[in-house]
Amino acid sequence: MQIKKIKLENFKNFNRFETDFNGRNLIVAPNGSGKSNLTEAI
């Protein structure tokens, strides 16, 4: 399965978030910024 785009509204710590995915992607951010929440949304 290939995910091309994700849009979140009022999901955990994301009020509004939208991004496009191209090929391979790496999610890097400080602790507590929502990396696990983004993975859970997917």
Q: What is the pLDDT of residues 11-36, one digit of tens each?
A: 999 999 999 999 899 999 999 999 99
Tokens of 39: 């993975």
For 12, residues 6+ apart whose C-beta sits below 8 A from its C-beta are 34, 37, 40, 41
End-to-end distance of the chain based on CA atoms, in angstroms? 11
Instruction: Assign 1 a pLDDT band (cuts: 50, 70, 90).
Output: confident
The total of structural domains in the chain comes to 1
pLDDT > 90? residue 4: yes
pLDDT > 90? residue 8: yes
Q: Show the domain range for 31.
A: 5-41
SS (H, E, C) the chain: CCCCEEEEEEECCEEEEEEECCCCCCCCCCCCCCHHHHHHHC
pLDDT at 23: 86
